[in-house]
């Protein structure tokens, strides 16, 4: 079992969730998706979900303290020795600083940040074609990664649906939000010597091989 502590950083639709699922299986890492966690909280009508709903549906970031508490709590629920992938968190410099402090306090430094590099025009096409399983959350694409039977999840047989925030107008807001608030993390993690860029515009199996090679090269020290 791997014990790397990783971040997957990249714009909406760059393939973070797809590769987090694959790397979770390959390296035995827990995949902790901030977006999936918020969508579960919203579906369950919890206090966090009610606080997050308006931000998520319009493509804006939920407040830093809300998501930071949620993600540190998710890390604390894992066995101490477990490795993990943070998919979609952090997304702002204050979140990155809070994560750094939170992990330092737990004696759990990060091993690396995989940066999914991809042009905007490819993202728009991918998000328009994305379908997500309403049962297990598995992500498909009507163009590039179709399920074996249309509208049905290969893994659990659940129904596939389009995410509310994959509408064209919301996608434009999400991309702008990424460029303004999240892209500065690329320099932040580069300065910390943690950044591992991959070409996320490549075929999904080639991206998988590139991400796996980066993770394997990071080791499990710390």
For position 62 contacting ligand AP5 by CB under 6 A, the verdict is yes
Active site residue 16: yes
> Sheet of 84-87: strands edge to edge?
30-33, 84-87, 5-9, 112-117, 195-199
For position 83 contacting ligand AP5 by CB under 6 A, the verdict is no
- Tell me how far the alpha carbon of residue 221 is from its chain's centroid: 23
- Positions 31 through 60 that interact with ligand AP5 (CB under 6 A): 34-35, 38, 55-56, 59-60
SS3 111: coil
Q: How far apart are CA 84 and CA 109, in angstroms?
A: 12
**Total binding residues toward ligand AP5, as defined by CB under 6 A:** 36
Smallest gap from residue 219 Cβ to ligand AP5 (A): 25
- Comparison of 30 and 145: residue with beta carbon closer to ligand AP5: 145
- Positions 89 through 148 that interact with ligand AP5 (CB under 6 A): 89-91, 95, 126, 129-130, 139-141, 144-145
For position 84 contacting ligand AP5 by CB under 6 A, the verdict is no
Angle at 49 (CA atoms; ends 106, 108), nearest 5 degrees: 10
Tokens in use for 65? 């303290």
Give how far Cα 160 sits from Cα of 20, 101, 153, 186, Å: 19, 38, 6, 33
Q: Which residues are catalytic?
A: 16, 91, 130, 163, 174
Binding region for ligand AP5 (CB under 6 A): 10, 12-18, 34-35, 38, 55-56, 59-62, 67, 88-91, 95, 126, 129-130, 139-141, 144-145, 165, 174, 203-204, 207
């Amino acid at each position: 079992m791997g014990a790397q502590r990783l971040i997957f950083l990249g714009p909406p639709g760059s393939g973070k969730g797809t590769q987090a699922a694959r790397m979770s299986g390959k390296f035995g890492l827990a995949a902790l998706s901030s977006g999936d966690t918020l969508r579960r909280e919203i579906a369950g009508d919890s206090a966090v979900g009610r606080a997050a709903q308006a931000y998520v549906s319009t493509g804006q970031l939920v407040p830093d303290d809300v998501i930071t508490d949620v993600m540190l709590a998710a890390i604390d629920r894992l066995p101490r020795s477990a490795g993990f992938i943070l998919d979609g968190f952090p997304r702002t410099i204050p979140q990155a600083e809070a994560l750094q402090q939170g992990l330092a306090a737990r004696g759990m430094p990060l091993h690396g940040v995989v940066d999914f590099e991809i042009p905007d025009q490819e993202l728009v096409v991918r998000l328009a074609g994305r379908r997500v399983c309403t049962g297990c959350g598995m992500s498909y694409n009507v163009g590039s990664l179709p399920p074996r039977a249309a509208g049905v999840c290969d893994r659990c047989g659940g129904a596939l649906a389009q995410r509310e925030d994959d509408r064209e107008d919301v996608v434009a807001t999400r991309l702008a939000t990424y460029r303004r608030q999240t892209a500065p993390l690329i320099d932040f993690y580069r300065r910390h010597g943690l950044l591992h860029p991959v070409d996320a515009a490549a075929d999904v199996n080639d991206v998988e091989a590139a991400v796996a090679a980066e993770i394997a090269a990071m080791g499990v020290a710390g």
